[in-house]
């Protein structure tokens, strides 16, 4: 990994997608609160997540913080082995399992949604000469929009770019990114990441709260034995329904 990314994958990505309209900060597992303090998360529009062996070391408190913020509107881009991260599994609700093989084979990524914001500037397909293979079945929900499908030299296929919405937030999973290959210097990979950041950027943040509300109109059929607030209609007194 150090051979291709002497200063880390996060720095290579930041350098590769850097642009005037992006203000990029770096965060790492070893940083206090993994670099994702409440203040930082709340000041972040789009979070890119790469992780591999240390998913279990990510504190649940931080995962919950990121999860809540995605549901409020923050964009999240999950890369490669991040398919097994706590945050991605929490957002998908499935095992996110897949097949894999490290043989340094070729990958061809087909752009099957050429009108989507994430695939702008990408041709009909692009290729990566040496990759780790990920194969189907990839256990993700069916509500994502598939942007890229990969073919591998060894014969497998994989849904390599899938766009989801979770709450008010946009989530994009992008497959390439094994740490022993220089994937994050590839111009097409960087183009997709830059596009994805701009696609996932929220227009608005909305807090998700359960509120016990009064009715707008008089409720004539009100059950006097089951009222939680004045002339309220909610049957769940604590608003947790």
Residue ranges that bind Zn ion, judged by CB under 5 A: 81, 132, 178
For Zn ion, the closer of residues 33 and 105 by Cβ is 105
- Tokens read off for 147: 């942007």
Closest separation between CB of residue 178 and Zn ion, Å? 4
The distance in angstroms from the start CA to the end CA of the chain is 48
Q: How far is CA 133 from CA 67, 81, 218, in A?
A: 28, 11, 62
Q: Which letter does DSSP use for residue 183 in this model?
A: G
**Cβ-based nearer residue to Zn ion, 33 or 153:** 153
Radius of gyration, alpha carbons of the chain: 21
Q: Which residue is nearest to Zn ion (CB)?
A: 178
State the nearest-atom distance from the C-beta of 80 to Zn ion, in Å: 6
Question: What is the smallest separation between the CB atom of 139 and Zn ion, expressed in angstroms?
Answer: 17
- CA-CA distances (angstroms) from residue 216 to 158, 173, 213, 230, 233? 50, 42, 9, 13, 10
CB of 55: closest distance to Zn ion in angstroms? 12
Beta-ladder partners of 127:
108
Tokens at 1, concatenated = 């990994």
Residue 125: other Cβ atoms inside 10 A: 15
Secondary structure element (H or E) that encloses residue 173, with its range = strand 169-174
Q: Token pair for residue 200?
A: 């996932």
**Nearer to Zn ion among residue 107 and residue 132 (C-beta):** 132
CB of 52 to Zn ion, least distance (A): 6
Smallest separation, CB 150 to Zn ion (Å): 14
Comparison of 81 and 195: residue with beta carbon closer to Zn ion = 81
- 10 Å Cβ neighbour count for 221? 4
> Alpha-carbon distance 38 to 24, whole Å?
17
């Amino acid at each position: 990994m150090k051979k291709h990314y002497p200063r880390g994958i996060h720095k290579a990505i930041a350098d590769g997608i850097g642009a005037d309209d992006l203000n990029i900060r770096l965060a790492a597992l070893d940083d206090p609160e993994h670099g994702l303090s409440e203040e930082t998360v709340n000041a972040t529009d789009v979070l890119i997540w790469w992780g591999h062996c240390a998913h279990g070391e990510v504190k649940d408190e931080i995962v919950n913080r990121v999860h809540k913020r995605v549901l409020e509107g923050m964009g999240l881009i999950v890369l490669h082995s991040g398919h097994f991260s706590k945050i991605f599994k929490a957002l998908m609700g499935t095992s996110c399992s897949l097949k894999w093989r490290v043989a340094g084979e070729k990958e061809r990524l087909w752009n099957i949604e050429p009108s989507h914001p994430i695939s702008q500037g990408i041709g009909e397909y692009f290729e990566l000469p040496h990759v780790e293979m990920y194969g189907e079945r990839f256990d993700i929900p069916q509500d994502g929009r598939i942007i890229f499908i990969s073919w591998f030299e060894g014969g497998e296929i994989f849904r390599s770019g899938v766009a989801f919405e979770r709450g008010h937030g946009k989530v994009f999973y992008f497959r390439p990114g094994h740490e022993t290959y220089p994937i994050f210097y590839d111009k097409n990979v960087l183009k997709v990441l830059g596009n994805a950041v701009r696609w996932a950027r929220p227009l608005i943040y909305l807090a998700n709260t359960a509120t016990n509300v009064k009715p707008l109109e008089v409720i004539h059929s009100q059950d006097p034995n089951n009222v939680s607030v004045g002339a309220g209609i909610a049957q769940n007194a604590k608003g947790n329904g």
